[in-house]
Structure 1
Amino acid sequence: MGFVDLLSAASMPVLKVLIITALGSFLAMHHIDILGQTTRKQLNNIVFFVFNPALVATNLATTITYESIVSMWFMPVNILATFIIGSALGWMLIVIATPPQHLKGLILGACAAGNLGNLPLIIIPAVCKEEGSPFGDPDVCHHYAMAYASLSLAIGAVFLWAYVYNLVRVFSAQDSGNIAVANETGTVQPELTQTLLPSSPSSNSITMKQKGKAMLDVMKQHLGNFSKRINLKLVFAPSTIGAIVGFVVGTIGPLRRLLIGTTAPLRVIQDSASLVGDAAIPTVTLIVGGNLLRGLKGSGISLRIVFGIVAVRYLLLPVFGILIVKGALYLGLVPADPLYIFVLLLQFALPPAMNIGTITQLFGAGESECSVIMLWAYGLASISLTLWSTFFMWLVA
C-alpha cells in the first residue's frame, strides 16, 4: 500500500470536517446570522443535553459487550496518559511563557484534553470506507470503529468534566478564593487566641468546647471551599449518564435482547434514540465553525502561547503516544489489532476539545483567548491530522 493511498484515505475524513466547519463559519457571519451567538448557545444546550447522550448511549449499547470491554481495557489508561502528559507539557509551557493567572487553567486544559469524541466518530469510521484503508472489510471495520470511537467519547467526557472543568474553575476563582480564605481566617483566629489562655481552672471545660467548636468550624469551612472548587456533579454530565446507560444495556444480556437487534421487542426505543444521536456530529461541527469565527477578531493572547499549545498537541504528544502504544504492544498489553492500535495512536494527535470553549464561557475566564487558540488549532489540524493519520496507518499496516 503506497503513501499516496494512505494520504488519500487519511485526508478525506479531515476534508469532510473542514467543509462542514466552513459552512458553520459562513452561517455565523454577521450578514448571514443564521448561526449567531444566541443560536449557537441554544444549539449547544440541545447537543449537550440531548444529542450527545443519545449518540453515546446508542453507539455503546449497540457495539459494546462485556467481552469487548475486557479486550479494550487499555483505552482508559491510554486516554488518562494523554491527560497526564498533556498537563505536564502544559505546565512546562506556563513556566516558559509566564501567562496571566486567569489563562493558566485554559492552557493546561487545552494541552491536556483532546477532541476524543466528535472527531474520532467522524474520522475513524470514514477511514474504513476509503479504498486505501489498511483495516480490511469496510463493514467489519465500521462496526469496530464505532465501538472504539464511542468508548473514546464516553471516557473522554468523564475525564474532561472531572478534570479540565475543575482545573479551569480553580484557576478562574483563585484570587477570589484567596480573599475568602483570608477573611475566614481573620474571623476564626481571634476566637482561637482568646481560648488559648483560660482565665481560671473552672473554665477549662468551656474553653475546650469552644476550641473544639472553632476547629470544627475551620474544618467545615475548608471542606465547603473544597466542595465549591471541585464540582463532582459535573462528572455526571449528560454524556456520562448516556455512557452509563449504554454500558448497562450493552453488557446485560436480557436488556440487550430487549432493546438491540432487528428482532428485539423494544427496538423502536433504540432506533428513535439513534435517530436523535445521529444529529450530534453535524450539529457540533457547525457550532465549531461558528465559534471559530470569533477567533478571527483576535485577542490579547500571546502567539507564543498559541503556538506552544499547537506544538504540545501536534508534535510532542503524538511522539509520546507512539512510545506508549508501541511499548504496550511490545509488552502484550494490547491486542495486535491494527484498527485498535490506530485509534490509540490517534488519541494523542487530536486538537483541543471544543468543550473547553464551553467551560471558559461558564466562568468568563479566557473566553476570547480560547477562540483564538481553537482557530489556530483547528486550522492547523487539517494538516496535522492528515499527516499523523497517514503515518499511523503506515505504522500499523
Structure 2
Amino acid sequence: MAFLDLFVVALMPVLKTLIITAIGLVLAFERVDILGASSRHHLNNLVFYVFTPALVASSLGETITASSIVKLWFMPVNILLTFAIGSALGWILVKITRAPRELHGLVISCCAADSCREALLSSHSLKYDQDEEAQIVFEEEEKPSELKRLRQNVKMWADKINLKMMFAPSTIATIVGIVIGVVSFLRKLIIVDNAPLHVIDSSADMLGDAAIPAMTLIVGANLLRGLKKSAIGGWVVIGVQVVRFVLLPLCGIGVITLARHFGWVGSDSLYHFVLLLQYALPSAMGIGTITQLFEVGESECSVIMLWNYSVASLALTLWTTYFMWILS
C-alpha cells in the first residue's frame, strides 16, 4: 500500500504535465488555431524573456542564503556532473543510432539537461545545429578527415558562442536572485514578508508561475507537427529514455556514494536524496523553449518530451522508492 501511495504522489505532477501538453496539442489544431506558428513564437518569447527569468529570480532569492551556499556547495557541482555525464552519454547515443546531424544537439540536450535547471548550454548546441544545416552538403562533398572535421567543429563552436546567449535573461536572473538572497540588506528589503519592496518579489513570483504551463503548452502545440512528420527515429527516442531513466540514475548512485564516502555532502539524508533525484528527473521543458526560439527541431523535441514524461510517471516513482530505501 505504501508503494501504491508513493506511485500516486509521483504520478500526479507528470499527469498534470501530460494533460497540459494535450491541451496545447488541441489548441494547435487548424480548426482551433489558437496556438498557431505565430502565436507559439510570441508565447515562446514571453517564456524566454519574462516568465522564466521571473521564476528563476524569485525562487533563488527566496531560497538561497549565505549559509545555504556554504552548506550546499556540492549541489551546483552535482548539477554540472549530471550535465557532463548526460552529454557524454548523449554523444554516444547519437553515434550509435546515427541520428541526423541536425538533431545531434537536441538529442544530447535531452540526455543532459533535466527539469531542475535551465537549458542554457543546450541553446548553444541547438544554435550550432541550426547554423550547421547550411553546411552539411558542403561537408559531405569535401569529406574531410576526422582531424580536419574536428578542427572545423571546434572553430565553428568558437564562432557561435556569443555573449548574448551567455548572458541570456535566465542567466541574468540567476545572478540577480543569488545576489538578493545572499546580501542580507537586499533580502530584508525585498524578500521577507514585511519588506518595503516585497511587492516586487510577489510580482516576480506571480509571473514565474506562468513559466511551466506556458512551456508545456508550447511543447504540446509543437507535438502536432511531430505526429504528422518527424525526423527522429524510434531508436533515438528509446535511447534517450534509457539514458535518462537507467544509465544516469545508476551513475548518480555511484557519484553520491563516493561523495558520502569522502564526506563532501554531510550526513543529511534528505540532502542526499535530492542529489540522487537530480539524476532521475525527465528532460528539461526549457529545451522546448530553446528549440522554438531557434526554430530547429521543434516537432522532434515534442515527440521526445511526450515519451519522456510518459515514462517518467513509472521510472521516477521506482527510482524515488529505491533512493529512499538505500538512504534509510
* Structures share fold, TM-score greater than 0.5: yes
Deviates most, 10-19 or 237-246: 10-19
Letter in 2 for 1:340: Y
Distance, in Å, in 2 between the alignment partners of 1:41 and 1:265 is: 37
Distance, in Å, in 2 between the alignment partners of 1:295 and 1:384 is: 24
Q: CA deviation at 1:74?
A: 0.8
- Residue 148 of structure 1 corresponds to none
In the alignment, structure 1 segments of 5+ residues that lack a partner are 117-155, 181-221
Cα separation, partners in 2 of 1:366 and 1:36, compared to 1, 3 Å: closer
Cα separation, partners in 2 of 1:63 and 1:320, compared to 1, 3 Å: same
Q: CA deviation at 1:226?
A: 5.9
Cα separation, partners in 2 of 1:303 and 1:259, compared to 1, 3 Å: same
Aligned-pair RMSD on alpha carbons? Answer: 2.8
Deviates most, 334-343 or 223-232: 223-232
Q: Is the 8 A contact 1:14 1:385 kept in 2?
A: no
Q: Is structure 2 residue 260 aligned with structure 1 residue 329?
A: yes
Distance, in Å, in 2 between the alignment partners of 1:362 and 1:47 is: 10
Distance, in Å, in 1 between the alignment partners of 2:246 and 2:33 is: 36
Q: Is structure 2 residue 74 aligned with structure 1 residue 74?
A: yes
Residues 240-270 of structure 1: per-residue CA shift (max 9 Å, x gap) = 1111111111111111111122221222222
In the alignment, structure 2 segments of 5+ residues that lack a partner are 140-152
Q: Is the 8 A contact 2:215 2:289 kept in 1?
A: no
Distance, in Å, in 2 between the alignment partners of 1:395 and 1:7 is: 18
Q: CA deviation at 1:225?
A: 5.9
Larger radius of gyration: 1
- Residue 249 of structure 1 corresponds to 180
Q: How does 1:118-267 map to 2 (within 5 A)?
A: 156-157=117-118, 160-161=119-120, 163-174=121-132, 228-267=159-198
Cα separation, partners in 2 of 1:371 and 1:32, compared to 1, 3 Å: same
- Residue 303 of structure 2 corresponds to 372
Q: CA deviation at 1:73?
A: 0.9
Distance, in Å, in 2 between the alignment partners of 1:73 and 1:94 is: 33
3-state SS of the aligned residue for 1:299? coil
Q: Is the 8 A contact 2:44 2:292 kept in 1?
A: no
Give me the TM-score of the superposition, normalised by structure 1. Answer: 0.71
- Residue 44 of structure 2 corresponds to 44
Cα separation, partners in 2 of 1:245 and 1:324, compared to 1, 3 Å: same
Q: CA deviation at 1:341?
A: 2.3
- Residue 353 of structure 1 corresponds to 284
Cα separation, partners in 2 of 1:91 and 1:337, compared to 1, 3 Å: same
Q: CA deviation at 1:351?
A: 2.2
How much identity, in percent, do the aligned residues show?
54
Cα separation, partners in 2 of 1:379 and 1:297, compared to 1, 3 Å: farther
Cα separation, partners in 2 of 1:319 and 1:291, compared to 1, 3 Å: same
Q: Is the 8 A contact 1:7 1:386 kept in 2?
A: yes
Letter in 2 for 1:385: L
- Residue 250 of structure 2 corresponds to 319
